[in-house]
Structure 1
Amino acid sequence: MWPEALTPYRRTTEFTAATIPAGLLRAHATKPGTWARLHVLSGLLMFRDLETGRDHLIGPGIHPLIRPEARHEVAPQGAVRFFVEFCALPQPAPKAPGV
């Protein structure tokens, strides 16, 4: 389940089967504190959760939960267009000195 307070802060350009970066095709993970959401615009993308060992076939409207530092990889299933959205929880404001 997504934490309700997650806020998007960056997204990639759109990728296709021909332009997907090699790093996404092999095991990788997000940074500490960074969640990710895959947005498939057309076609199908296989999402492999290497933490659970489960494969998920992702199409438009399906957004797998990618937790911080969780190892995963993707594989295009033919023609596909998608992008990745990165999210984080809001950081508390620093306390003023002397408070």
Structure 2
Amino acid sequence: MPAPYRSTPVFDERTLPDALRRRHNTKAGVWGIVRVLEGRLKLTYVDPPSAVVLEQGGSGLLLPQQDHFVEPLGPMKMRVDFYDTPPDQA
């Protein structure tokens, strides 16, 4: 698996930026993996509409320019890793 070229800080339910709680996307040519380190997080994809609840140790793939947002489901810790080639999701 390629190493991410950048990662966000680890956020919890209090420090998660509003920008990640609202509709946003990755840039062209950028994949992301939302990684839940503790707790639970809802990841919502805007188009096509779908949502998944990620548990501790789980991850969700973000495709380039894919609109999405996240919502903490209680106490949690998460980060996003960014890749410039399609990552394995492990």
TM-score (norm: length of structure 1): 0.81
The equivalent position to 1:23 in structure 2, one of 1, 9, 19, is 19
The equivalent position to 1:47 in structure 2, one of 40, 43, 46, is 43
4+ residue stretches of structure 1 with deviation over 6 A?
none
Kindly indicate whether the alpha-carbon contact (under 8 Å) linking 2:38 and 2:57 is maintained by their aligned counterparts in 1. Answer: no
* Partner residue in 1 for 2:63: 67
User: Which of 1 and 2 has greater Rg?
Assistant: 1
Say if 2:85 is the partner of 1:89.
Answer: yes
SS across alignment from 1:24: helix
Kindly indicate whether the alpha-carbon contact (under 8 Å) linking 1:35 and 1:86 is maintained by their aligned counterparts in 2. Answer: yes
Length, aligned pairs only: 86
Gaps of 5+ in 2: none
Aligned-partner residue type, residue 33 of structure 2: R
* Partner residue in 1 for 2:74: 78
TM-score (norm: length of structure 2): 0.89
Gaps of 5+ in 1: 91-99
Q: Tell me the percent identity.
A: 33
